[in-house]
Amino acid sequence: MPFYIYEVIGEDGQRGEQFEVFQQMSDKPLTKHPETGEAVEKVITGCFIGGSWSDSAMQKNSSDNKKLDKLGFTKYEKAGDGYYEKKAGKGPDVIHKDNPIQAKDLK
């Protein structure tokens, strides 16, 4: 069962406190706060995607230069103003704004 976020709606229409409720997907949305009886509306939010595509997993995977290289990715890190150094993969060792990359450099 998922958590849903609700928001209190004041008599003047102003939005108030937000709170989470653990409900079945088939349950009807709440119209009143379960404790105070105030009017509420369900808040539409983005869904959470866990596993290997979560932010923390992607951060961990993108910081592992050996793994990126093995998977065929190229990674550059900023080393100065308009200056980037290669940390994994194929391509030139450095990229600089004063020396643009040519097609031949990418092979």
Q: CA-to-CA distance for 75 and 90, rounded, in angstroms? A: 9
* Token representation of residue 20: 């989470």
pTM (two decimals): 0.44
Residues 54-97: pLDDT tens digits? 666 666 666 788 888 888 888 889 998 989 999 998 888 888 88
- The backbone torsions φ and ψ at residue 85, rounded to the nearest 5 degrees and listed phi first, read -110, 140
Contact predicate 84/95, CB 8 Å: yes
Question: 99: which DSSP letter?
Answer: B
CA distances from 86 to 3, 78, 96, 101 (A): 43, 9, 11, 13
